[in-house]
Structures are given as structure tokens and as C-alpha cells.
Amino acid sequence: MQDIYALSPIDGRYAKMVDELREYFSEYALIKFRVLIEVKWLIQLFGSDAVLKDKEQLTKAEEAQLDNLFEKFSEADALRVKEIENTTKHDVKAVEYFIREKITGTALERFSSFVHFACTSEDISNLAYGVMLKEALNKVLIPMQKELVNKVKATAKETTSKPMLAHTHGQAASPTTVGKELLVFAERWGNIIDLIKNAKITGKFSGAVGNFNAHLAAYPMIDWGNVSKEFVESLGLTHIKLTTQIEPHDNLAIICNYIKSFNNITMDFNSDMWMYISMNYFSQKAIQGEIGSSVMPHKINPINHENSMANIRISNAVIGVLADNLPISRMQRDLSDSSMLRNVGVGIAHSIISIKQSIIGFEKMVLNEEVLIRDLENNPEILAEAIQTVLRKNGYVDAYEILKDLTRGKKITIESVREFIGTLDLSKEDKDLLLELTPQIYIGMASRF
């Protein structure tokens, strides 16, 4: 059910469209993934391959008990952390106290003093955000992006040989095919998806100012740099060695810009689809019960494409702010990144809404082949490019100027074009080729792509 009091449309009107993101970017999710980092660190310290060997080690059953603090983390657990935070006024410290509370009265209580051992809150938070982002990209955003690409590819395959008048600068230009133009978007999207998939999500785990000060004070003989690297990589993240107190967010900024690039391609796609609908190259399916205009009953508006473009602008605004500002932090740290990071999910949510709206809008579109053919037939002057190129081949130095005089700013007929070709001094082979040429077949390699 929609929350009619929601301040944000992603928690109101569009809530169902982004439900799958709540497992990764909600307040509940952030708390849960902080619990994950805390318990995994405790297991790293005292587990089967323990870093600290001067204490009793965890049993396999105890490791499982700690893992269950994350695996079975509940809404009630999250609310308890928030309750503790009401007193501590510190969100990460509240997670530490929650874990201590959960193991009190059990055999695990002997490790209570080592919960959050040698950590600064950023050690926990940056890794939590890293794992959350990795999961959200791989399980939600990238699959959604691929769905859009696959929908467009499927239609491109069906329309690969359907000729269409191209438009450059809004003017009639050399013909193309519907399928080829759709594949342009699919390839562009695919390139960005590959960049997102292969982007490094980095993490730091080196204490209050990145020097392992506290670690060495307690255990000076341990290679904490290597321990940190192993721990970060065990979470599926890329270890970053030299930092201040915070993970510098450079790679997150890169990922934000990749998402923004994908959004911009989707914006371009929606803009073209909107234009093709307005030109009647595509019509839209009439959905029973839907209303296009409150006063004009005939209308079927391209609302999904327009909605998608609006959500892209919101997504890009949020993601752009993150990309531009997260890598900037005064001295060894300030807290601005902490507040900003809470909006990563907001930017991605609006991107997902835009993708889903694009898919809905695209699936409503029906190709009007007769309109495409008529438009091609009404613009035979586009053959001027082919004719002047063949004239150049045959030694006409002023080929371009000849065709310019014939066609520029003029509406001519296919008959007058053929009449003109008949006057040219060309080989029989070239003349026959040009006489047989029509806008419908003048599509180059478009249908082969």
C-alpha cells in the first residue's frame, strides 16, 4: 500500500517500483550490513584462522551464532539498534552495543571487549556501504539495465530490415533502418554496463587516521596491513592501502558517473522514442481504462517516456552531487560524506524507476510501417548523396554543386530524379544502379548490423 504521507515519491507513488532496493539502501539495510562487518571482523580475529592467537578461539558453532546475527537480522533488531542510538546519538556505536547485548549471557560474552576492536566507525561504515553497493548493483541495478537492453535488442532484431528516413538536424537525411537505430542504444548501454560491472568498489580498514595506531599499540608484532587487506577482500571489495580516516570515495564517484552516463543514454533513447511517436512512426497501444487527457478523449500521451526523463534528471542531480563532493573531505575527515552517502540509494532508485518506465513505454509502441514508407517516398531528394558520390567516382569534380543546385531546399519527385540521372555521362552499370535506387533500398549496411 502506498504511504500517502510519504515525503519522497520513492516511498509513496513509486514505492513498488523500487521495493527490491530496500534490502540494500534502507535504514534497516545500513544497520544490518554494519552488523555484518562487525561480526565478520570478530570472526576474523578469533575464527578458524585467527589473527589473535593469545585468546581462546571461536568454535564453529559460535561462528555460526555470530553469522546469524546478520543472517537472521530482523526488523525488531533494527528497531532495538535505533533505540540504543537514541541514547548514544551515534549510529555505529549503537550497533556495537547491540552486538554486545546479543552475546551477553552466552559463551560468546568472553569476546565482548573485542567487538569493534581497534575500529573507527568509518572502518565499519565504508565496508558496509561497499558491500551494500556491490549487492545492489549486481542483484538489482545491472539486471534491470540488462532487461531494458534485451527488450530493445529483441525489437531491433524484428525491425532490422525496416527502412526509415533518418533525420539529422531535424531534416530528412540518408535512410537507415529501425532496428539499426535501436541497436545503437543497446550497444551504448552495453558498454556502460560493462564499466559498472568491472568497476572496483574499494574499502579501507586501518583505524582512526589510516595508520593502524591502536592496532600496533595492542599487538605490535602483527602485520596489520596484510590483515586489513585480507579482511576487505574477504568481503568482495578491493582493498585501499593509503587513506585518512575515511575511504576516499574516488571509485564510488566513478561508479556514480557511470550510472549517470547510463541515465543519459536512456534520456537520449526516450527523447528519440518521444519524437518517433510524435511523427507517427510509432503509435501506442490503447490500454483499457487508461486516460490520456482529462479533456481530450482521443489522446494517448507518451507519459512513460516523459516520466522516465523526469526521474533521470532527479537521479543525475543526486548522483552528480555525490560524485562531485564525496571525494572531498577536510584534513583527515569531516562528516559531510556520512550524510551524503545515505542518498546513494535515492539516486539509484530514481535510475531504476526511469528504466522501468522506459520499458513500459517501449512495450506500448507499435511500428507504423506504412508511415515510414510514405515518408521515404515523399523525400526522394535524399538520393542526392548517392548520386553525387557516384558522379565523383566517374570524375565529376563539381558533383556536389550539381546535386546541390538540383535538390537543396527543393521538393522533387523520383521521376525527376531519374530524368536527371538519364542526362548524366556515366557507365551503363552506374547509371542502371542509380535508376533502380529508391529511398527504401538506400540503407547502406544498416540491415546487416
Residues 247 and 352 in one domain: yes
Residue 256 is predicted with a pLDDT of 97
Residues 383 and 364 in one domain: no
Residues 112 and 130 in one domain: no
Residues 392 and 281 in one domain: no
* pLDDT for residue 154 is more than 90: yes
pLDDT digits (tens, 9 = 90+) for 56-78: 999 999 999 999 999 999 999 99
Long-range (24+ apart) CB contacts under 8 A made by 181-188 are: 181/272, 182/152, 182/153, 182/155, 182/156, 183/152, 183/153, 183/156, 183/449, 185/152, 185/265, 185/268, 185/269, 185/272, 186/149, 186/152, 186/153, 186/156, 188/265
* pLDDT for residue 169 is more than 70: yes
pTM, entire model: 0.93
pLDDT digits (tens, 9 = 90+) for 100-142: 999 999 999 999 999 999 999 999 999 999 999 999 999 999 9
* pLDDT for residue 53 is more than 70: yes
- Residue (of 257, 30, 63) closest to 129 by Cα position: 30
Query: Alpha-carbon distance 223 to 210, whole Å?
Result: 14
Residues 83 and 63 in one domain: yes
Residues 246 and 311 in one domain: yes
Residue 280, domain CATH: 1.20.200.10
* pLDDT for residue 294 is more than 70: no
Residue 260 within a domain: yes
Residue 234 within a domain: no
Query: Alpha-carbon distance 52 to 323, whole Å?
Result: 38
Residue 334 within a domain: yes
Residues 60 and 161 in one domain: no
How much is the average pLDDT of 173-190? 96
What does the angle CA 186 – CA 192 – CA 194 come to, to the nearest 5 degrees? 100
C-alpha cell read off for 265: 543514454
**Listed ranges 92-101, 237-246, 276-285, 326-335; the one with the highest mean pLDDT:** 92-101
Mutual orientation of helices 428-436 and 414-422 as an angle, nearest 10°?
180
Residues 191 and 307 in one domain: yes
* pLDDT for residue 401 is more than 60: yes
Task: Tell me which residue has cell 510514405.
Answer: 374
Residue 206 three-state SS:
coil
Residue 217 within a domain: no
Residue 123 is predicted with a pLDDT of 95
β-bridge partners, 239: 203
Residues 250 and 129 in one domain: yes
The residue segments making up the domain with residue 156 are 124-208+241-290+297-369
Domain count, the chain: 3
Residue 233 within a domain: no
Query: Alpha-carbon distance 312 to 309, whole Å?
Result: 5
- Cβ atoms 165, 443 nearer than 8 A: no
Given phi > 0 = left and psi -120 to 50 = alpha, else beta, which region is 212? left
Residues 365 and 249 in one domain: yes
Residue 93 is predicted with a pLDDT of 96
Active site amino acids: 169, 293
Residue 43, domain CATH: 1.10.275.10
Residues 396 and 270 in one domain: no
- Cβ atoms 323, 263 nearer than 8 A: no
Residue 412 is predicted with a pLDDT of 87
Residue 39 within a domain: yes
Residue 4 within a domain: no
Residues 102 and 138 in one domain: no
Q: Which of 117, 140, 162 is the last residue of a domain?
A: 117
